[in-house]
Each structure stands twice: as structure tokens, then as C-alpha cells.
Structure 1
Amino acid sequence: MKLLAFAASNASHSINRQLVDYAVGLLADGQIEGVPAGALEISSLDLNDFEMPIYSIDRQNADGIPQPAHDFYNLLGAADALLISFAEHNGSYTVAYKNVFDWASRIDMRVYHDKPIVMLSTSPGGGGGGFVLRTAGHLAGYFGNEVLASLAVPRFGENFDTEADRLTDPDLDVQLREALATLAGVLTGCADNPDS
């Protein structure tokens, strides 16, 4: 199964990138129930590779849809499942993610290609990016997504050891592992359909 994992942030030291990298490590090493080591073909992307002018209908009418939007859209389409950790800016998506997403939605509104997804978020504060996570989950079906599980990790600096690259709060770590274990059902489905 092909899993595409990324942080919806363009920050060079994104805590959401650290969280999604930790999750990917658990999946790759076979530490998630029902997902054996090596069972996933995991790839990632960096939002900085998809910088484009701010979306406007005038730009689209004048110049069409930029190639990076097509590239982003196609990468999501090539995956069997998605793992995204959403950074929250003022209660919503980062501008970087929203712009890429808006451009890609002009190719097709079902940007997520009806792929199953595990959604994460984290922030330095107690909300853990919960506002953006709820927004993303609420809109997922409209944009072609089946949300398998979601988890907001609050107070990243207190609950994540950046030197050891791991969650230190045992309850949050269990919740993350349970969220990632939902990918096992997708993995089984892909085994039944080897062309996926």
C-alpha cells in the first residue's frame, strides 16, 4: 500500500512535521498493530515545493492552473491512503496549505481522490490544533476523503521529546498508535486488490 504523509505547514522546523515523521517511523518499523514492518510504501512531500501565486480566478483565467498544483493533486491521487498533520494558524489552515489546496481544487473538487486518511494536528498550546483538525474533518467528505481517525496533540513542547523524536505522554502515544492502526484495514483491502 502506498501511503503519502506530510505536514500541512511550510515552516522549516514544523512541529507538525516532527509529529508526522514520528508516526511514519512507527508505521515503517512495524510498531503499529496490524501493519507489519515494510508493509507500506511511504512517501512524503514538502509544501515548500508547491509555492504558487495566491489563488484568484483572474490568475486562473489569465494563466491557467500552475504545474505545482497538478503535481500536488497527482501525488495525492497516486497514494492509497494519506497521513496529514495540520498546523493551525489563527484557528484555520496555514496560508501555504490553503493556497495549494485551493489551486488543486480547481482541477477537481475531490482533491483527496476519495482516499482514506488519518488526520493529526499539534500546537504549542492546549488546543493542539483542534480547530483546524475539526474543520479538515468536517470538510473531508466534500473534498473526497474518508477520515479513518484523527488526533490533536496539545502542548507539543511538553508532550514530545525532540531529541529522542517521540511522544512522551503515554496516553497520547497510545491514542496515536490506535489512530494509525486504522490503516491496517486499508492495508488488507489493498492486499485483496493488488492493482490499487
Structure 2
Amino acid sequence: MKVLAFAASSSRQSINKQLVSHAASLVPNADVEVLDLNDYEMPIYSSDRENESGIPAAAQQFFNKITAADAVFVSFAEHNGSYTAAYKNVFDWASRINQKVYQNKATVFLATSPGPGGAQSVLGSAVGSAPFFAADVKGSLSVPSFYDNFDVEAGELHHPELLDKLQTIIANL
């Protein structure tokens, strides 16, 4: 199984990238590719830009990565209760190629934050809108208080109940 994983964040120290990398590594015998959204920086989407210049090559490259995957893992960072600007822009451009951005791929949606909310607002938005973008969500998980529940040195989730939930989601792939 080819698993594509990325954090919906442009932070170089992204806790969501740590979480999604760990989660994808739990898929047995998977070929995992972890993307960095910084590799897909593009002008802010607007219909004027699209009409004048077309769709940037980086958007097509991102879309093609999803096409080549069997499953997609995304961990959402939350900025002011919503998607990060970095993710939203990549997603907006990719949706201009095909609104079905996730192409009916099995998806796992995660979110985490340093605080007790665990980025649940943005995760709820992602799960709620998933059918419009052809994401076959196999499960979602919010990890609150990241530094209390994730061993950064070992690179793994160590909270037993959260780990069990994550493993159950992965078993449903």
C-alpha cells in the first residue's frame, strides 16, 4: 500500500507532521511518503490569477501525489479555529484541477495542538466537508495536549487510549 502523509501546516517544527508521520508508519508493509507543504508554495488562489496564468505546476504535482497514493493521511493544524493558510491555498489550487481532490482515496484525518482542544474545530470542518472532495474517511482522531500524549524523542503516540483509537482506524484501511 502506498500511503501519502502530510501535515496541513507550513511550520518547520510542525507537531502535526510528527503525528502524521508516526500514524502513517503504523500501516503494515506500507510505502510511506511524507510531503512538506512548503514544497508546494504558490500565489494565493484567485480566479483572476487562474484566468491569467493557469494552474501552477506545484498544484498539479500535489494533485498527482494524491493520484498515485492508495491512502492519504492528513494532520490538520488549526489557525484561529480553521485551516492554515498554507493548506487552504494548496487545497484551493488542487480543487481547480478537480473538485474531488482526494479522488475517493481512503483517508485518515488527524489533528493535534499543544492545548486541550486538540484542533477539534478544524478536524470537524475537514471531516464534515470530506464528501464534497471525495475523501473516503476511514477515521479521524484529535490528539489534545500534544506534548503530554506524544513522545517527541521516540516519535510516537504514547497515550494508550489514543494509540488504540489510531490503530483501530488504521485497521479499517
Q: Which TM-score band applies after superposition, normalised by the shorter structure?
A: over 0.9
Aligned to 1:14: 14
- SS of 1:13 mapped into structure 2: coil
Once the two structures are superposed, residues 130-186 of structure 1 have per-residue CA deviations (whole angstroms, 9 ceiling, x without a partner) of 111110111111011111100000000111111122222111111111111111xxx
Once the two structures are superposed, residues 51-81 of structure 1 have per-residue CA deviations (whole angstroms, 9 ceiling, x without a partner) of 0010111111111111000101111111111
Map of 1:1-196 to 2, 5 A cutoff?
Answer: 1-27=1-27, 35=28, 38=29, 40-183=30-173
In structure 2, the gaps of 5 or more residues are none
TM-score (norm 2): 0.96
Q: Distance in 2 between matches of 1:21 and 1:112?
A: 19
Q: Distance in 2 between matches of 1:44 and 1:163?
A: 19
Aligned to 1:30: none
Q: Which amino acid aligns with 1:7?
A: A
- SS of 1:83 mapped into structure 2: strand
Q: Distance in 2 between matches of 1:67 and 1:9?
A: 20
Q: Percent identity?
A: 55
Verify the 8 A CA contact 2:9 2:76 in the aligned structure 1.
yes
In structure 1, the gaps of 5 or more residues are 28-34, 184-196
After TM superposition, what 4+ stretches of structure 1 lie above 3 angstroms from structure 2? none
Q: Distance in 2 between matches of 1:90 and 1:46?
A: 21
Q: Which amino acid aligns with 1:51?
A: E
Q: Distance in 2 between matches of 1:165 and 1:78?
A: 26
Between Structure 1 and Structure 2, how many residues are aligned? Answer: 173
Verify the 8 A CA contact 2:3 2:71 in the aligned structure 1.
yes
CA RMSD of aligned residues (A): 1.0
